[in-house]
Amino acid sequence: IQMTQSPSSISASVGDRITITCRASLGIGRWLAWYQQKPGKVPNLLMYAAYTLQSGVPSRFSASGSGTDFTLTISSLQPEDSATYFCQQTNTFPLTFGGGTKVEIK
Amino acid sequence: QVQLHQWGAGLLKPSETLSLTCAVYGGSISGFYWGWIRQSPTLGLEWIGQIDQSGSTNYNPALRSRVTMSVETSKNQFSLTLRSVTAADTGVYYCARLWSAEGRYVATYWGQGTLVTVSS
């Protein structure tokens, strides 16, 4: 299953609301996860099962979607949110990732 | 707090075998699935495969002919072997502890990563 993220990069200001989209080439139900990766760091799980927040993740992060179309939203962008965000379908082996969306702070 | 520490050779020649080991601290290897994921600028993040404490595996079909994963519960470690490497196998390799939601796996704890470069 191919995972396509858009946009590939986004530049926004602190306090902005941003949305990242992930599209699966086949339906995956609600089985999508989101990871955040900061430069030089390992990926960190943000969300699983489409919209379930991983423990410790700030509530400004939310996600939605099912089937083939999913979104990750940051309601009020903070400086520490500067990172690359990846989606991953967890429905079908081999598990596959999107190409990533780089979020930069203006 | 679960921590994963991984090690292995970082520079290989084409046709050689990549071998990485991941040690689990702060928790038991039993009761979980354990995975290997790699990342490169060209291929992005790629799921290599996973193994449980009994040795049951699930490999990425694209790599299945060259991959072997094993687990050593007595040492709380698991390992990855990738044979006949080429330059396309260059990247950062991560070990990870997997968590299952209704049989669907996500990576919740990650090793620090090992940069593997394949070059003649």
- Per-residue model confidence (pLDDT) at position B86: 97
Task: Kindly report, residue by residue over A22-63, the tens digit of the pLDDT.
Answer: 999 999 999 999 999 999 999 999 998 888 888 899 999 999
Distance CA B26, CA B88 (A): 34
pLDDT at A67 over 90: yes
Mean pLDDT throughout A87-100?
96
Interface list for A 76-95 with B (CB within 8 A): 86, 88, 90-91, 93-95
Q: Label residue B101 left, alpha or beta by phi (over 0 means left) and psi (-120 to 50 means alpha).
A: beta
Residue pair A85/A98 in contact (Cβ under 8 Å)? The answer is no
Give me the residues of chain B with pLDDT under 70, please: none
By Cβ distance, the residue of A35, A86, A93 closest to B58 is A93
| The residue to which tokens 């290897």 are assigned | B29
Confidence category of residue A10, pLDDT binned at 50, 70, 90: very high
Task: Kindly report, residue by residue over B19-40, the tens digit of the pLDDT.
Answer: 999 999 999 999 899 999 999 9
DSSP B16-56: --EEEEEEEESS-STTSEEEEEEEETTTEEEEEEEEETT--
- Per-residue model confidence (pLDDT) at position B62: 96
Give B-chain residues touching A98 at CB under 8 angstroms: 44
Q: What angle do CA B76, B81, B82 make, to 5 degrees?
A: 155
- Taking the CA of residue A68 and the nearest CA in chain B, the distance in Å comes to 16
